[in-house]
């Protein structure tokens, strides 16, 4: 499958905005943040100062498979270009200011002057180390969710590229609720070819899981697992666990009426969140 160019992906987002004017605000923020990482997206090394060999990637992949832990957990040092990182973060900060999030970005200038701290946050973004964000947030007064967002933008192109380079067998045989690439928890399930896949919210990896499984608590009891269908769009439904009251949103690829651009699965199924909220269900908090 041929990957879309950066400009093609921007146009896809713009078409979605035109088709869904009720989502203009959130989609405009998404588009502006996406455009902030153009340099890293279009960089052959995806923001790294040097490329990682396929031999190294496969070696790390074998360790991940053997220990059933995400690949980034075995990456002690990933050589990002500080110049590209600083430029991307600065652009992301400008976007957040533009969208009225100034009050949550206190002391961000102090962060941009501290390369050691930036390197620490990049490592945290690669491994989804929430404690680091909380610690830095407490020290600088920057909202931890926005810290996570800014540094996720920096590492996302690299992680997406990594997810494309791993052996497909890893994704097909993973059967674990944590993403095999970056360790995130997913709240979106895709059904295709009668198989069930979780879609990582950051790297986009689609990794297979069991059909009868609550991805929150691990419940496999069919009598306490059920689903809610969206009658207006049968391609969308909610999988619910009665034990933990958590849910995930499900997209049946075979029933889709329109293509969903990569990365917009969560936004374009927002109505399912409304239904779940009304029923008192709990969505995964991906920050935690």
| 75/121 same-domain check | yes
Q: Cα–Cα distance between 272 and 79 in angstroms, integer?
A: 40
Average pLDDT over all residues of the chain: 92
What is the total count of domains within the chain?
2
pLDDT band at 284 (very low <50, low <70, confident <90, very high): low
| 182/129 same-domain check | no
Structural domain contains residue 273: yes
| 116/156 same-domain check | yes
Per the structure, the complete domain to which residue 117 belongs is given by 37-166
What mean pLDDT comes out for the span 158-177? 95
| 152/175 same-domain check | no
pLDDT band at 49 (very low <50, low <70, confident <90, very high): very high
Looking at 145, 166, 187, which one is the last position of a domain? 166
| 104/177 same-domain check | no
| 178/72 same-domain check | no
| 186/107 same-domain check | no
Looking at 138, 166, 194, which one is the last position of a domain? 166
Structural domain contains residue 89: yes
Whether residue 223 is predicted with pLDDT greater than 90 in this model: the reply is yes
Whether residue 102 is predicted with pLDDT greater than 80 in this model: the reply is no
| 204/279 same-domain check | yes
Interstrand relation of 225-229 and 195-199 (parallel, antiparallel or unpaired): unpaired
Structural domain contains residue 69: yes
Looking at 116, 144, 166, which one is the last position of a domain? 166
Structural domain contains residue 19: no
Structural domain contains residue 136: yes
How do residues 106-119 score in pLDDT, each as one tens digit? Answer: 788 889 899 999 99
Instruction: Give the pLDDT of residue 287.
Output: 39
| 161/41 same-domain check | yes
Structural domain contains residue 109: yes
| 279/197 same-domain check | yes
CATH code for the domain of 176: 3.90.1670.10
Structural domain contains residue 175: yes
Structural domain contains residue 279: yes
| 187/156 same-domain check | no
Contact call for residues 187 and 248 (beta carbons, < 8 A): yes
Does the predicted TM-score (pTM) go above 0.85?
yes
| 141/185 same-domain check | no
Q: How far is CA 153 from CA 50, 159, 227, 244, in A?
A: 19, 10, 33, 31
């Amino acid at each position: 499958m041929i990957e879309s160019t950066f400009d093609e992906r921007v146009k896809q987002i713009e078409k979605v905005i035109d088709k869904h004017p009720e989502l203009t605000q959130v989609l405009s923020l998404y588009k502006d943040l996406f455009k902030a990482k153009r340099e890293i997206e279009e960089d052959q090394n995806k923001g790294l100062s040097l490329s990682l060999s396929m031999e190294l990637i496969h070696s790390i992949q074998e360790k991940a498979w053997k220990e059933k832990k995400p690949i980034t957990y075995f990456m002690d040092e990933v050589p990002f270009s500080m110049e590209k990182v600083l430029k991307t973060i600065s652009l992301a900060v400008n976007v957040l200011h533009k969208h009225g999030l100034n009050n949550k970005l206190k002391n961000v200038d102090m962060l941009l002057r501290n390369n050691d701290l930036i390197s620490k946050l990049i490592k945290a973004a690669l491994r989804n180390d929430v404690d680091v964000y909380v610690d830095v947030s407490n020290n600088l007064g920057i909202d931890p969710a926005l810290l996570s967002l800014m540094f996720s933008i920096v590492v996302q192109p690299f992680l997406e590229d990594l997810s494309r380079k791993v052996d497909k067998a890893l994704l097909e045989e993973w059967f674990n609720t944590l993403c095999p690439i970056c360790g995130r928890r997913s709240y979106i399930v895709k059904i295709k070819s009668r198989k069930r896949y979780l879609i990582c919210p950051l790297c986009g990896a689609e990794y297979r899981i069991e059909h009868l499984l609550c991805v929150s608590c691990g419940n496999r009891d069919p009598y306490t697992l059920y689903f809610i269908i969206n009658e207006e769009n049968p391609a969308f439904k909610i999988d619910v666990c009665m034990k933990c009251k958590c849910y995930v949103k499900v997209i049946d690829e075979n029933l889709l009426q329109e293509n969903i651009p990569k990365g917009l699965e969560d936004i374009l199924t927002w109505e399912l969140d409304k239904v779940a909220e009304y029923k008192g269900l709990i969505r995964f908090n991906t920050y935690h």
